[in-house]
Chain A
Amino acid sequence: MTSVSRAKWLTVVLLTATLVAALVSLMVGSVTIPPAQVLERCFAALKGQMSNDATDRILLSTRLPRIILAAAVGSALATAGLAAQTLFRNPLASPYIVGVSGGSAVGAVAAMLLMGKVAAITFAAVPVFSVLGGLTVTAIVFFLGRRGHNVGPGLLLAGIAIGALCSSVTAAALYLAGERLQILVFWLMGGLWRANWQEALLMAPVSAAGLVALIILAPAMNVALVGERSAQDLGVNIARLQKLLLVLIGVETAVAVSLTGVIGFVGLIVPHLLRLVVGADHRWLVPATALGGALLLIVADTLARTLAAPVEIPVGILTAVVGAPVFLWLLQRRGVRETL
């Protein structure tokens, strides 16, 4: 099978699997709702006919926004990870590599510590502070990259240094947190338990915009695989591509982390996993990665809220538990050489 027909086939499989996972996720939970009823209620809601009973509330106000948020965050983290791996030509790059998650965490922790002490700051301010923290770090890294004229290992190290600085600040905050320690730790672990329509409708357009941008940049990202100098010779404005990718990684990650905390593994592994299957052509890899990220996070989050119900397991633990074995299996089968 040629890589193109394999990529087309895989895209269809991933899309179907994502829809099936979403359906199953709508069905399961504290109350199990049969699939026919799930579909019936969803189509009715689309036509504007809501019965507003308990089933509707569970399906449409609790589970559906959570699934949409999971899909949007999963897709944002996975595509941001792919962008980071291409930007740095480094297989270890993830959306967190440039320190964005660290900045978001510092913002969130700061807001949580200031809650009650400064009147204007309530729990609703946490995502706002968090996104500001993440974007501040993106801006710093962007500025460093601009001064250095290229995005090489120097920028990677700068990102790691900023990340380390942010972790120390977060650690200090945890140390000083007192009785708020538990909410801080829980937030940092990442999860989707706070999901509501507002969050879902904020994240979904950010993910969609990121996806469209990456689909447009995909041919240039393919050329960027051959290194900065040759990419320029082949017609890519590499400085502009690098800036666009950096901003894209920064914004997608900052918004995702502000809404769900730091969910690891999705951004690192999903792009690799799909590269093993569809190859390195970003025109296929970008949509496949977006679907793969959405699928992984829907599955992981469904497990997170059902496995030990009524207790929730932080979803970051499960993304690795679900993703790592699949990845290792593929790695064994196809060899490291092809991963990047």
Chain B
Amino acid sequence: MTLRAENIIFSYRYGRLVLQGITLEIRPGTVTAMFGPNGSGKSTLLRCMNGTLEPQSGDVTVNGREIHSMSRQEIARQIAVVPQDSPADVPLTASEMVMLGRFAHWDIWGQEMPEDRTIVQESLARLNATALAERSFGCISGGERQRVVLARALAQQAPIMLFDEPNTHLDISHQIELYRLVRELADEGKAILMACHDIFVTPMFVDNAVLMHSGGIHAAGPAAAVLTPDNVEAVFGASIEISWQKDFSFSAIFT
């Protein structure tokens, strides 16, 4: 499944132009990371790409099919979203929360099948969250909640996954775990687009990087070619020195 945005122009009502003609393609088996300062349009682009916002012009297509011709349920079978934040005041247990990921696959009566329960258990296990299954979603920590929400996205079994700053509530070891999982999912054939702030750790795990600036794409391509000191300074206004190693890791020094 390929997710493609073509020449997306978007503004909120009475607002300034948030996206100014973005073209972006997410292919199976790849991780694309989207960087950019706050307000550069990353989250808005993600919401356009899963059809929850309708751009003023431009098309979003899933394998060539116009996204706005699909029902919400059809879209959710193709695209899973991991949001930045999830309200904690949800009166469900963690496993009930993950079960919501199966909604996209249900018919009108919403009858859950034994296979749904298996998928929920597997998704929780993959996130090392089996122990949380019967805990109340409102009573676990922010990081644990984020893992449950991730498990929910896995339970959707969608070939395309969009992550909106997924590491916000995670400590460094859970962040690395998350990136490894994202890499694994891409290697299994999923197409992944991830908005993130962390230009230091993320590049090690991604195939492509997109650097957004004021609603446009400043640079796109392999991470090493995109995250250059010049580009980072132009977009973030932060002056750093970057040296890339062979294994895609790099060190950065603030100057």
Segment touching A, from B88-96, B183-191, B243-251? B88-96
Among the stretches B19-27, B29-37, B101-109, B221-229, the one at the interface with A is B101-109
In the bound complex, residues from chain B placing their C-beta under 8 Å from that of A227 are: 86-87
Does residue A47 face the partner (Cβ distance < 8 Å to B)? no
Residue of A at shortest CB range from B71? A237
| Stretch of B56-64, B73-81, B170-178, B196-204 with 4 or more beta carbons under 8 angstroms from chain A | B73-81
| A: contact size bracket | 20 to 34
Interface magnitude class on chain B: 20 to 34
8 Å CB interface, B198-238 against A: none
Determine the chain A residues whose CB is within 8 A of the CB of B109 once the complex forms.
Answer: 216
**B83 and A225 contact, CB distance less than 8 A:** no
Nearest residue, chain B, Cβ from A227: B87
Q: Does A37 reach chain B (CB closer than 8 Å)?
A: no
Partner of A275, one of B52, B72, B91, B100: B91
B213 vs chain A, min Cβ distance (A)? 25
Whether A234 contacts B156 by the Cβ 8 Å rule is: yes
- A218 in contact with B110 (CB, 8 Å): yes
A298 to chain B, nearest CB (A): 28
Of chain A, the residue at the smallest CB distance from B155 is: A234
B138 in the interface (beta carbon within 8 A): yes
Give the shortest distance, in Å, between B100 (CB) and chain A (any CB): 5
The reply to whether B75 and A235 form a contact with Cβ atoms under 8 Å apart is yes
Could you tell me the distance between the alpha carbons of A227 and B137 in the complex, rounded to whole angstroms? 14
The reply to whether B91 and A234 form a contact with Cβ atoms under 8 Å apart is no
**In the complex, what residues of B have CB within 8 A of residue A219's CB?**
103, 106, 110
- Which residues from chain B contact A339 at a C-beta distance below 8 Å? 91
Is B91 touching A230 in the complex (CB atoms < 8 A)? no
When the two chains form their complex, are residues A235 and B73 in contact, meaning their CB atoms are under 8 A apart? yes
A233 interface hit (Cβ, 8 Å)? yes
B146 at the interface (CB under 8 A from A): no
Question: What's the least CB distance linking B107 to chain A, in Å?
Answer: 10
Chain B, 102-140, CB within 8 A of any chain A CB: 103-104, 106, 108-110, 136, 138-139
| Contacting residue for A235 out of B77, B83, B138, B139, CB 8 A | B77
Kindly list 12 other residue pairs between chains A and B, CB separation below 8 angstroms, not including A3-B93, A237-B72: A216-B108, A220-B103, A222-B96, A226-B100, A233-B81, A234-B103, A235-B104, A236-B72, A275-B91, A280-B91, A280-B92, A340-B91
Which residues in A have some Cβ–Cβ distance to B below 8 Å?
A: 3, 216, 218-220, 222-223, 225-227, 229-230, 232-238, 275, 279-281, 283, 337-340
25 intermolecular pairs with C-beta atoms under 8 Å apart = A219-B103, A219-B110, A222-B92, A222-B96, A222-B100, A226-B97, A229-B52, A229-B83, A233-B50, A233-B80, A234-B76, A234-B152, A235-B73, A235-B75, A235-B76, A236-B103, A275-B91, A279-B92, A280-B91, A280-B92, A280-B96, A337-B138, A337-B139, A338-B91, A340-B91
